Amino acid sequence: MNSKLILGRGHHILGGITFAMIALAIYLVFIWVPADAKLGVSQKIFYFHVAAAWVGFFAFFVVFIASIIYLKSRSKKWDIIGVSSAEIGVFFTTIALITGSIWGRTAWNVWWNWEPRLVTTLILWFIYVAYLIIRASSTEEEKKGRLSAVFGIIGFFNVPIVFMSIRWWQIGLHPVIIEADRVGLPTSMLRTLITSVIAFTFLYFYLLQKGIALGWLREEVNSLKSKLREKFD
């Protein structure tokens, strides 16, 4: 696949939409939506924290699907999609952990609390960091692809555990925003949160296209190196 096809006109349109959505989300967060009565302005980090966590979970879902298809087909395309999505997922999960710690310091007066959701999220982060370490190893390409795909599949099973942890164990300080019968947010905050989540989702797809294009460029470079070695050996 040609990387120029991935980063064509559609990619530029997606970039424009992403920029507009992020600008709208920033406007809603910092200007339109009122500050929380108890936490004040510091509560606004919540909109980025939830959106980052959502993108991390969604990215790992894409890794899960891509890994299954790769193990069945051995298609390099799905291997590249998987690793590109994993890189984005680790990045946004890192943001979620950092912003969560900042929130915790403001709301609960602690940087870290060993509650189920925080611990399971940290475990999820470690699993996909291990995935990326495998990708960076010098192992034979096909073996590396198989190992990372297995990590990608196993790691995703932790995502529903993270989501359900505060409902299953019902301990810790982490709030439950959305329940079956109610949403624990005023309308203005809910609209701002939804906009932020949508904006971050667009950003995910924009970065994914960049990552896939970069992956194909790496493949083209490696192919050229192999041909040069064969020519001069």
Q: Which two tokens stand for residue 41?
A: 């302005």
CB atoms within 10 A of CB 129: 15
Structural domain for 96, as ranges = 3-232
Query: Count of domains in the chain?
Result: 1
CATH number of the domain bearing residue 215: 1.20.120
Give the distance, in angstroms, between the CA of residue 181 and the centroid of all CA atoms in the same chain: 28
- Give pLDDT tens digits for 120-178: 999 999 999 999 998 887 667 788 888 889 989 999 999 989 888 777 766 666 666 66
Residue pLDDT, tens place only, 59-114: 999 999 999 999 999 899 999 999 999 999 999 999 999 998 888 888 778 888 88
Closest by alpha carbon to 28, among 200, 183, 191, 184? 191
- Indicate if the pLDDT at residue 226 is higher than 80: no
HEC assignment per residue over 10-59: HHHHHHHHHHHHHHHHHHHHHHHCCCECCCEHHHHHHHHHHHHHHHHHHH
